[in-house]
Structure 1
Amino acid sequence: MTISTAGVAGKPSPNKTSPARRKQEDRSRDARERLLGATIEILLKRGYSGLTTKEVAKTAGMSNGALMHHYATKAELVIAATKAVYDEWILRGQRIARTPGAVENPLEGFISDSTSVYFDWPYIAALEVVMVARTDEALMEHIVPVMQHYRETTNDLWREVFVQAGYTESDADTILNLTLNIVRGMGINRTWKRDDARYQALLSDWVQIVNQQYKPQPNKAVRKRPTAPAEP
């Protein structure tokens, strides 16, 4: 039995988590990770319409009751899995943006970040959810904030890199949004036509165009302006 010492000698008890509680939290976190991983796996295989909580639980090696303990509905499960995917993308971007070469070649860095997202499996899983949410108002209401958080966080991250490299915020926003839509369009095209060599050649051409059109000024102060809302 644990006896609370709160208030003894006028001192509050330290806020410590017991080993048993930590183990329970670790088990719960592990269970959620397995469930979300299984959800993404099934989204890739069967799409949203083919996903069932029963199959997710089976794939995760858990009972359906255990799944329901963490996620009460299919929608809740899919929303959580989508958020996990976008959170992973944010971490990817941060790792790339913090490399020594990011400020030296910010556009190449942003392209590397973007292709690691839109040319990889998480985008397909997220796209499955977004397409369903297009005609499901309740689902879209929960998905939009997740996408918006990712886009705003990523744009803020790379805008800072571009500004450090000497670009104005206006030019940085233009380059970021044009590049994003180019890469994202290629990501959609890859769902039926894999031609990565061609995509990379086109992206190299895009880098040359941007370098000709926009000239950074590393040694001059950059006047800041209010940033436009990021697109999802």
Structure 2
Amino acid sequence: MSAALPRRTQAERSDAMRQRLLAATLESLAEDGYAGSTLSSIVRRAGVSRGAQVHHYPNKQALMLDAADDLLRSSYRTLGAVLLSVADEDNRLEMLVQATWEQLFATPLYRAYTELLVASQRDAVLAEALRGMLLRVSKVFEPAVEHYFMPAPGTRENLKAVFLQFACLLGGLASQAHLLNDTAHVAAQLKLWTRQAKLVMHARKGVRLPPPRPVEWDRPVHS
């Protein structure tokens, strides 16, 4: 007779419920848009009770913000795993560019984030919350840039600004992907940026550990 599995604690059950709600929220945003993602539809998609939703998130905005925060954290972990998996530093930039597009921007999850950005144009509270969230994210991503890359000899480029340009490029490509429907165009743009970036930066040698994270990153947005 196999041993009985240990029962989950209340905290574990609560966290699992919250994760179901967050996953359902992101799926709903990607498929139904911000306006179509009502609390009722998200609860049905998550397969939880309305009481469970109210317990964790009293309103739609709180749920949306936590979902966005969860998405950004997941994105950071994805990029970190890609960077650490590349043993050959000479290929680190190419691998990062390709993985960032394929695993983050060219996904339904980025469409969900885009829905939040569009909604924030007419929602001052949502805009302010997203602004604060992006500031928190920059405090994590900016040190990571210097951790993995360094300026090329003889250059004085601000590498943080170069990667900000990269994010803007990917955001623009992703927002028009449903209109362009042209993978060759996307690939050409990514290669062009990579060639330009390699003129001003190199991957640091021997990086095998992730960069340190600010304390603020470990604080959940809903606390």
TM bracket (short chain): 0.7 to 0.9
Given the alignment of the two structures, is residue 130 of structure 1 paired with residue 117 of structure 2, yes or no? yes
Aligned-pair distance for 1:170? 3.1
**Pick aligned residue for 2:54 from 64, 68, 71:** 68
Would the alpha carbon gap of residues 73 and 131 (structure 1) be closer, same or farther in structure 2, given more than 3 Å must change? same
- Report the Cα offset of residue 113 of structure 1: 4.2
205 and 30 in structure 1: CA distance in 2 versus 1, 3 angstrom threshold? same
Query: Which structure would you say has the larger RCO, counting Cα contacts within 8 Å and 6 or more residues apart?
Result: 2
Residue of structure 2 aligned with 1:163, choices 135, 147, 150: 150
Runs of 4+ in 1 over 4 A off after TM superposition: 164-169, 215-219
* Displacement after TM superposition at 1:74 (Å): 0.6
Two-structure CA RMSD over aligned residues (Å): 2.7
Largest Rg, 1 or 2 = 1
Shift of the 218–74 alpha-carbon distance from structure 1 to 2, 3 Å rule, reads closer
**Deviation readout 1:131-183 (Å, 9 max, x if unpaired):** 11122111112122222322342232123211288796734234323322222
Distance 2:9 2:203 in 1: 53
Q: State the partner residue of 1:208.
A: 195
Amino acid in the other structure paired with 2:142: N
Q: Distance in 2 between matches of 1:167 and 1:98?
A: 27
User: Do structure 1's residue 176 and structure 2's residue 128 form an aligned pair?
Assistant: no
Q: Does 1:35 align with 2:25?
A: no
Give 3-state SS (helix, strand or coil) of 2:34's partner: coil
1:140 maps to what in 2? Answer: 127
- When residues 71 and 215 of structure 1 are mapped into structure 2, their CA distance, relative to the original with a 3 A threshold, is closer
Mark the runs of 5 or more structure 2 residues left unpaired by the alignment.
1-5, 206-223
TM-score of the pair, normalised by structure 2 = 0.78
1:189 equivalenced with 2:188 (yes/no):
no
Q: Distance in 2 between matches of 1:102 and 1:125?
A: 33
CA deviations on 1:45-71 (whole Å, 9 max, x unpaired) are: 211111111111111111111110110
Name whichever of 66-75 and 40-49 sits farther off: 40-49
User: Aligned in 2, Cα 1:26/1:165: closer, same or farther, shift over 3 Å?
Assistant: farther
- Which residue in 1 is equivalent to 2:96? 110
Measure how far apart 1:31 and its partner are.
Answer: 0.5
Matched residue count: 199
Q: Unaligned regions of 5+ residues in structure 1, if any?
A: 1-18, 220-232
Query: Partner amino acid for 1:67?
Result: Q
1:192 deviates by 2.8
TM-score by length of 1: 0.75
* Deviation (angstroms), 1:110: 3.3
- How far apart in 1 are the matches of 2:187 and 2:197? 15
